Structure 1
Amino acid sequence: MATEIPEAQAVLDAPGASCAYLTPLIKEHLSALASGEVLEVLSDDPASREGVPAWSRLTGNELIASVTDGGRNARFFLRKK
């Protein structure tokens, strides 16, 4: 079954950002959204594949979907709590 890609209300395009820098950016971008809205995060840091889901669990913001292109690029869809 294919992962359904949700519609995002905002996009954080963060190529080159390390995961340590990415999570504060995610927090900042989510703060501008209303509860229930979705943020799409674009990252090329391999560490983000573990870091973003872990951050999601710690903060209570739902990771709806995670998609990779088979290479370094990943897309994460987070729903603001």
Structure 2
Amino acid sequence: MDHNNKNTDEHIEENSENETDDNISAGIGVGIALGAAFGLMFDNLALGMGLGIAIGAAIGTAVPASKKSKKK
């Protein structure tokens, strides 16, 4: 029985890591799109996309962390 619990805990931990990676990827994708739009508006595409990637990665990291803290 103890062996099965260990496998279940490892499986939950792996899924949690994959979920975090998915959130970061989604954040970066949305950040690039919004950053490109703002970059075009302000005539500086590279800066807009760079800021979009940084902000998207930060949001993609923060959202799962805030969900975990609310569950506890």
Q: Which structure's residues are more often helix, by fraction? A: 2
Looking at secondary structure, tell me which structure has more strand per residue: 1
Give the structure with higher Rg (CA): 2
Q: Same fold (TM over 0.5)?
A: no
